[in-house]
Structures are given as structure tokens and as C-alpha cells.
Amino acid sequence: MSIFDKFEKEFDAQITNYTKWPVYPPSSDPHFHNGYELYFLFSGSTKYIIENNPYEIEEGDIVWIPPYIDHKTQPNNTERHKRLLFWIIPHYLEDCLKDNKELSDFYHHYRVIRTTTRDVKLFRKFSNLLLEEYFTEEAAMSGEVIKGLLLSLLVHLKRMYERNTRDSKGNQSGSEDNTSYSLNLLISYINTHYAEDITLASLAEQVNMNPVYISSLFKKNFGFTFKEYLLKLRITKATQLLKSSSSTVEAIAFECGFRSSNHFCKTFKRLVGMSPLMFRNIDNE
């Protein structure tokens, strides 16, 4: 069952420096937040698991996690480990990005950002300025300065992600490139049409792929089935709507692709660990 962490501040920061990793049980539950998390690994290495997808994170890598997305880290070893975390409440981020829809849309999805030496220098420059401003005693203009610095940092992170994604695609072999293309096509279609009545057969027809091939891609790359991916995506979208809108649970269920509010509530409780209404009201407790 997921663990819910509630952020109280609009913007918060933390640097954690372990001589040795604390020992967590391997089966520890993933957690999610009511805000955005920006993770930067100064040193060491770890495995970052986001919605059951494992990513190997090395020194200099950056991870972006939107609200209500399951995630956890698992240390690869007990070596020295230093990380920086920024936490941002949704309305604070929306205020920073209100005049840039393209940038706002980009940060609604989780991102694993591989960096170059130049990227790391740039990120450290902006993060040091943010930390200096965050901990300053001259608070009169601090909030506006932080928003400006945060906006600049997010613009550069988007550029890093897009440039390095293009570069990695250019370096792939033909087979890897075909697999990557197929996965991107599948995920793009599902993320756009998740509210519709999608089946494995209809998906295969839309993207012109064999259903068996699609099933094998999901199992091999994500560790779960197409149907499980679709359900998790619908529930993730529902968690966002429960927090950001006043729509009824039934309306949200249909908006997210469920044809029965009863099925929605049962699935939500199974995946999130609580009912939709309890999840909606948790911030007020």
C-alpha cells in the first residue's frame, strides 16, 4: 500500500548526506506526495522506482515526480550518498508557469533526466542560488526571487531532457530504436486516449502492431500488462482530478475511462489504499 506524504510549505528544500545508506527493508512501500518533487543525486547511485518502472540513477542524474505518483528509492549498495530535494506545492508551480502552457504540460509527467557535465554545472548554479535565497533572512522579496529562479531552472531542465533524449535515440542500435519507437507510440496513444474504451485488440489495430507483441513489450519493459498500465494511468489521472476539481466521484470515474463508479471505487481502493472520498479529504485532516 502506498504511503501519503503531505507537504505543508509552498516551496521547501533539503540536502541529505549519508556516509552510509540507512538500511530499509527491500519490500518497503512506495509513497506519493501532494506536491512536486525534484531530486538531484550529487554522489552515489540508487534505483528509483516510479509507478513500478525501475530506473538506475547515477551521480548527476535528476528525477522529477508530479503529485500522487507512486515512487521509492532502493540503494544499490551502502556507499556514500548525497542528494538534493526540492518540494513544490501545485499552486506554487502553476503560478510560476502560468504564462507558459508548453512548459506546464511538460512538468505534469514524471521525468528521469540524464545529464552531461555541462548540465550538472548549470543545475548546481541554479540550485545553489535557490538554496541561498531560500535560507536568506531578507524575506521581503525572497518569494518572488525564488519563483524567478525556479522558472529558469525548469526551463533548463526541459532543454536538458529533450536534448539528451534526442542524443540517446541517435546512439541506439536499429533493434533498440525500433523497440523504443514502438513503446513511445504505444504510451503516447494510451496517454492520449486513456478515457476511451481501449482494449488490447483495439490498441493493436490503432498502432498497427500485433497484440502478442504489445503484451510482450509491456511485460519485458514494465513488468506488468497493458491492462494494468491502463488502470494505473486512469487512477493517477483520477487522483489529480480529486485534488484539483470539485467534480463528483462518479463524474471523475467516467472522465477517467471507467464505465462504473463502483468498479472505479474498488480499483481506486485497491491501488491507492483508500477510497476516493477519503483521498480527496486527506489534506483537510
Domains of the chain: 3-170 (2.60.120.280), 174-284 (1.10.10.60)
Residue 172: HSE in the Cβ half-sphere, 13 Å Cα cutoff:
14
Helical (H) or strand (E) element with 86: strand 81-88
Query: For the chain, what is the largest distance between any 2 Cα atoms, rounded to a whole number of angstroms?
Result: 61
pLDDT-derived band of residue 56, with 50, 70 and 90 as boundaries? confident
- What single string gives the DSSP state of each residue in 12-80? EEEEEEESS-----TTPPPEEESSEEEEEEEESEEEEEETTEEEEEETT-EEEE-TT--EEEEESSSS-
Question: pLDDT by residue (tens digit) across 123-172?
Answer: 998 888 888 888 775 555 567 888 888 888 999 999 888 887 666 555 44
Identify the pLDDT of residue 173. Answer: 44
Question: pLDDT by residue (tens digit) across 202-258?
Answer: 998 888 888 888 888 888 777 778 888 899 889 988 998 998 889 999 999 999 999
Report the SS3 class of residue 88: strand
Can you read off the three cell numbers belonging to residue 69? 505518483
31 Cβ contact list (under 8 Å, min separation 6) = 2, 3, 4, 5, 70, 71, 72
Q: How far apart are CA 64 and CA 33, in angstroms?
A: 12
In contact, 95 and 67? CB cutoff 8 Å:
no
